[in-house]
Amino acid sequence: MRRAVIAFTAFLGGLVFLLAGPANAGPVDCEQGLRGTLRLQGQPVNGVKIAVTTEGGQPVQEVTTNAQGAWDVEVEQPGKYKVTLDVGTLPQNAEIRGGNNTRTPTVYEGNCSAVLFALQPKGAPGQPQQQDTGGESSFWTRAAQLTFEGFNLGLIIALAALGLSLIYGTTGLTNFAHGELVTLGAILAYGFNVGLGLHLIPAAILAVLVAGALGYGQDRFFWGQLRRRGTGIIAMMIISIGVALFLRYVMLIFFGGENEAFAQYTAQPGVEVGPITAAPKNFVAMGIELAVLVIVGFALLRTRTGKAARAVADNPALAASSGINVDRVIRIIWTLGGAIAALAGVMLGLSQSLKYTMGQEILLLIFAGVTLGGLGTAFGALVGSLVVGLFIQVSTLWVPPELKSVGALVVLIIVLLVRPQGILGRRERIG
Amino acid sequence: MDWITIISTTLKAAINVETVLYALAAIGINIHFGYTGLLNFGQAAFMGVAGYGLAVTVTVLGLPFWVGIFVGLAAAVLLALLMGIPTLQLRADYLAIVTIAAAEIIRLIFRSVAFKDVFGGSDGRRGFSEGFHALSPFPEGEYGFNLGPIPIFFPHWQLWVMVVGWALIALCCGIVYLLMKSPWGRVLKAIREDEDAVRSLGKSVFSYKMQSLVLGGVIGCLGGFIYGLAAGSVQPDVFGTETTFYLYTMVILGGAARVLGPVVGAMVFWVLLVLIYNTLAEAVGSGYITFLTVYQVGAVRWILVGLGLILLLIFRPQGIFGDKREIAIDAR
């Protein structure tokens, strides 16, 4: 009997773990209590004091956030608690969004409640704070800032989307594992950067090269073989889901479930350009992204291989019969797609933080960009991604930031209703 | 190594509430994907609206349990209509992307702070299952038997959920069996094989697909109810995209377009998962495996799921029971 109870408890524990899933796989040691993570612009904030008291004001515990910005407090009794963040211990350049530094969460029996303190950079000294003025000029300042951030995000999505779209165009594969290729790039760069101690720039270059090689290998030893077997494209699509799950959890094992940051360029002070405040790394990243996109676009339009790639995307049989080595073109596309997806991952890791689900989280946005521009058209993917990025960021002028992706996904569905072929797509592609 | 515990939990996994709820949702997927050839990747959303429909009706509005079930069912039908209108005319891969997008929209709304008063944010809702457990005929206690040295016992509340769940599975399988033998079912299969041919016979393909989507969605939403009632709570992240992917793994494992395929698939899936997890966790715990931590064992399991899905589709796309000619895995 006793054994049965133990077994059952173990099983229930396993189930809780299962059902809770990887999405909120937080610190496993928190059994009943409160926890949270403090981040400023995606970077962890440590050394912040957080005091937990009962509803009546009895002190429970005082903690400081660790290097990952995380904190947790175990409590004996379920019920309402009061969590106070000591504003004095925040970094100089940070403040709490909304200004309120107390939260009153409820702890349920055997549960760990997350307490959210959203941090934002403080307005530069002597300048009016954005929330306070609320006037027209501040609206346009914010709009300009968000447009800039939208371009930043849009370019990252565009890098990933270009690869996805080219692969789709040449092989017909809707690759659900493309998000994992993005994560892979970021994690490889992190490995070279933090693990081997290389500076981020050579680490990133190395990561992009390795990811390109892996992209080549993936087609050479996996997708190419499947094509030769005559696997249907729906089967391949479901296989790509399996590949995504496989890669995601392999990376979880090697990388762990925590948020990490690169060793360099993490906390750069912002510079002001006109109405926009941004870290210099963002300008450099956008420059690199633009340059890569232009080079790839130029290569598609002007080089022999690029023309061959477009021919294969148009009609593989005809391309093959006019002497194009279709397999070779597809292999080049996979190599390129893997490499630029990895670059997108590095850039994403630079502007946010690194996590094993980072690619999965933007996969739908990549799909949205690709679909919006027209599946299988390289330049459509570019335009679509920029629209998605801009839309997501600028929409936060009106919608809460946590729902910003919802807007983009709704737009995706509406576009499919009125113009299913996308912005630059052709009518017959949707079938 | 505590083999008794491992075998006991593994055997229980074959009929436990997880198996029940995933089997129900997988039967829904089987109607969509197996019989009609619709790649609905938003099944988790159907489970979600059902679970939340029940939870919000009971906890926020304070209405009785039966009203909650009705609201959940209505929400699932409404979701099927809303999702179907823009997507059912699209090709398979577009349909997949859009249904995923719709499911993510719903999950993000459930977990948003803006709607925390209604849906409870990322903590979800709890405390709505009393009405259901009040109907239970089982007095408090543990129920089960000893299979030789192996104890197989369930507490009364869990047994009640399981009994109701398996009754629902039997009912749904019966419905699917009868429907797919009927002329209506033959039209669905014909749509899977060749949409244009069906259209040329004067059938409204869109209407049939919509009926299939609604039926599968409603059956999937039963899985959402079972989840809510078994866990005593609903949380938004349970209804993520990965849940849908696991459902597809089960359907393909058991055999798509077979009445019992998803049920067998769910049972095998959970038995393997629990067996692998417990064995590895025990082996790590007692020091036989040193290159993994207990935390990583959870990940190893999902790696194997991914690998299993890949190998299944390459080497045996028809799964355990299926017929290769009946699987909608080629482009149309």
- Contact (CB<8Å) A402/B108: yes
- Contact (CB<8Å) B309/A431: no
* pLDDT band per the 50, 70, 90 thresholds, residue A18: very low
Contacts of B296 in chain A (CB under 8 A): 252-253
Q: How far is B167 from chain A (nearest CA, A)?
A: 22
Q: How far is B299 from chain A (nearest CA, A)?
A: 5
Model confidence pLDDT, tens digit, residues B113-124: 888 888 988 888
Q: Please give the pLDDT value at position A426.
A: 62
Six-digit token string for B226:
């079972």
**DSSP conformation letters of A220-247:** IIIIHHHHHHT--HHHHHHHHHHHHHHH
pLDDT: is B303 or A52 the higher one? B303
Q: Please give the pLDDT value at position A49.
A: 78
Q: How far is B9 from chain A (nearest CA, A)?
A: 6
Query: Is the Cα dihedral A77, A79, A85, A86 positive or negative?
Result: negative
Option in B109, B240, B277 nearest A406 (CB): B109
> CB within 8 A of B46, min separation 6: which ones?
B25, B28, B76, B79, B80, B217, B218, B220, B221, B224
Could you give the angle at which helices B261-285 and B241-254 cross, rounded to 10 degrees? Answer: 110
Option in B108, B273, B317 nearest A235 (CB): B317
- B311 near B286, Cβ under 8 Å? no
Based on its alpha-carbon atoms, the radius of gyration of chain B, rounded to whole angstroms, reads 20
Q: Position of tokens 């390289």?
A: A378
- Contact (CB<8Å) B331/A234: yes
**Second-level CATH architecture of A142-430:** Orthogonal Bundle (1.10)
- Give the highest mean pLDDT range of A77-81, A116-120, B7-11: B7-11
Q: Position of tokens 């709890």?
A: B126
Option in B5, B87, B237 nearest A23 (CB): B237
Query: In percent, how much of chain B has pLDDT > 70?
Result: 98
- A363 near A176, Cβ under 8 Å? yes
Average confidence score pLDDT of chain A? 80
- Residue spans of beta strands (DSSP E) within A75-159: 79-85, 94-96, 102-103, 106-107, 112-114, 119-121
Q: How far is B241 from chain A (nearest CA, A)?
A: 10
* pLDDT band per the 50, 70, 90 thresholds, residue B69: very high
- Contact (CB<8Å) B91/A7: no
* pLDDT band per the 50, 70, 90 thresholds, residue A128: very low
- Contact (CB<8Å) B302/A234: no
User: Distance between CA B233 and CA B53 in Å, rounded?
Assistant: 12
Q: What is the ipTM score, two decimals?
A: 0.90
Q: How far is B8 from chain A (nearest CA, A)?
A: 8
Domain boundaries, chain A: 30-121, 142-430
pLDDT: is B325 or B261 the higher one? B261
Beta bridge partners of A106: A80
> CB within 8 A of B248, min separation 6: which ones?
A238, A241, B29, B33, B41, B309
Measured from the Cβ of residue B316, the count of other Cβ atoms closer than 10 Å reads: 14
- A145 near A369, Cβ under 8 Å? no
- B320 near B265, Cβ under 8 Å? yes
> Which alpha helices (H) appear in B183-204, and where do they start and end?
183-193, 195-200
Q: Please give the pLDDT value at position B328.
A: 67
**Which residue is closest to B99 within chain A, CA to CA?**
A413
Residue A322 in this model has a pLDDT that exceeds 50? yes
- Contact (CB<8Å) A417/B155: no
- Contact (CB<8Å) A226/B314: yes
pLDDT: is A339 or A427 the higher one? A339
Q: Please give the pLDDT value at position B270.
A: 94
Q: CA-CA-CA-CA torsion for B116, A76, A21, B320, nearest 10 degrees?
A: -120
Measured from the Cβ of residue A228, the count of other Cβ atoms closer than 10 Å reads: 9
> CB within 8 A of A78, min separation 6: which ones?
A32, A106, A107, A108, A109, A111
Option in B86, B113, B300 nearest A417 (CB): B86
Model confidence pLDDT, tens digit, residues A339-370: 999 999 999 998 888 889 898 889 989 988 88
Residue A334 in this model has a pLDDT that exceeds 90? yes
**DSSP conformation letters of B137-166:** -SPSSEEEEEETTEEEEEEHHHHHHHHHHH
Q: Please give the pLDDT value at position A373.
A: 81
- Contact (CB<8Å) B299/A8: no
Contacts of A400 in chain B (CB under 8 A): 112-114
Q: What is the mean pLDDT of residues A319-329?
A: 91
CATH 1.10.287 fits B3-138+155-326, yes or no: no
> CB within 8 A of B314, min separation 6: which ones?
A226, A229, A231, A239
Residue A67 in this model has a pLDDT that exceeds 80? no
Contacts of B12 in chain A (CB under 8 A): 11
Q: What is the mean pLDDT of residues B71-84?
A: 93
**DSSP conformation letters of B43-95:** HHHHHHHHHHHHHHHHHTS---HHHHHHHHHHHHHHHHHHHHHHHTTS-HHHH
First-to-final CA distance of chain B: 51
Measured from the Cβ of residue B264, the count of other Cβ atoms closer than 10 Å reads: 19
* pLDDT band per the 50, 70, 90 thresholds, residue A177: very high
Residue A46 in this model has a pLDDT that exceeds 70? yes
Is A61 strand, coil or helix? strand
Is A176 strand, coil or helix? coil
Q: Please give the pLDDT value at position A351.
A: 84
Is A34 strand, coil or helix? strand
Residue A31 in this model has a pLDDT that exceeds 90? no
Is A257 strand, coil or helix? coil
- A411 near A371, Cβ under 8 Å? no
Residue B188 in this model has a pLDDT that exceeds 70? yes
H/E stretch holding B247 = helix B241-254
* pLDDT band per the 50, 70, 90 thresholds, residue A121: low
Q: Please give the pLDDT value at position B31.
A: 95
* pLDDT band per the 50, 70, 90 thresholds, residue B75: very high
Q: How far is A303 from chain B (nearest CA, A)?
A: 30
- Give the highest mean pLDDT range of A68-77, A388-397, B39-48: B39-48
Q: Please give the pLDDT value at position A136.
A: 54
**Which residue is closest to B127 within chain A, CA to CA?**
A108
Option in B154, B295, B330 nearest A234 (CB): B330
Domain boundaries, chain B: 3-138+155-326
Q: Please give the pLDDT value at position A5.
A: 45
User: Distance between CA B215 and CA B32 in Å, rounded?
Assistant: 9
Residue A41 in this model has a pLDDT that exceeds 90? no
* pLDDT band per the 50, 70, 90 thresholds, residue A243: very high
Cβ-based burial of B286 (10 A; exposed 0-12, middle 13-18, buried ≥19) = exposed
User: Distance between CA A415 and CA A406 in Å, rounded?
Assistant: 14
Beta bridge partners of A82: A53
Measured from the Cβ of residue A376, the count of other Cβ atoms closer than 10 Å reads: 23
Any idea what DSSP says for residue B42?
Answer: -
Query: Is the Cα dihedral B71, B76, B81, B83 positive or negative?
Result: positive
Option in A237, A245, A402 nearest B306 (CB): A245
The per-residue b/e assignment along A23-51, b for 16 or more CB within 10 angstroms, e otherwise, is: bebbeeebebbbbbbbbbbebbbeebbbb
- Contact (CB<8Å) B307/A410: no
* pLDDT band per the 50, 70, 90 thresholds, residue B290: confident
- Contact (CB<8Å) B100/A367: yes
Alpha carbons within 13 angstroms on the beta-carbon side of residue A394 total 14
User: Distance between CA A322 and CA A118 in Å, rounded?
Assistant: 58
Q: What is the mean pLDDT of residues B179-189?
A: 94
State the CATH class of domain A30-121. Answer: mainly beta
- A53 near A132, Cβ under 8 Å? no
Q: What is the mean pLDDT of residues A410-425?
A: 76
- Give the highest mean pLDDT range of A114-118, A133-137, B99-103: B99-103
A&B contacts, CB < 8 Å: 202
Phi, psi of B37 (to 5 degrees): 80, 20
**Which residue is closest to A173 within chain B, CA to CA?**
B93
Q: Please give the pLDDT value at position B47.
A: 95
Option in B105, B303, B307 nearest A410 (CB): B105
* pLDDT band per the 50, 70, 90 thresholds, residue A129: very low
Residue A17 in this model has a pLDDT that exceeds 70? no
Beta bridge partners of A37: A70
Give the lowest-confidence range in A20-34, A174-188, A404-418, B212-226.
A20-34
- A192 near A203, Cβ under 8 Å? yes
**Which residue is closest to A255 within chain B, CA to CA?**
B296
> CB within 8 A of A205, min separation 6: which ones?
none
**Which residue is closest to A8 within chain B, CA to CA?**
B9
Model confidence pLDDT, tens digit, residues B117-174: 889 888 888 888 888 888 888 888 888 888 888 888 899 889 999 999 999 999 999 9
Q: Please give the pLDDT value at position B91.
A: 74
Give the lowest-confidence range in A47-56, A401-410, B197-206.
A47-56
Cβ-based burial of A361 (10 A; exposed 0-12, middle 13-18, buried ≥19) = middle
Contacts of B122 in chain A (CB under 8 A): 24, 114
Option in A6, A21, A253 nearest B237 (CB): A21
- A122 near A89, Cβ under 8 Å? no
Model confidence pLDDT, tens digit, residues A200-228: 899 999 999 999 999 999 999 999 999 88
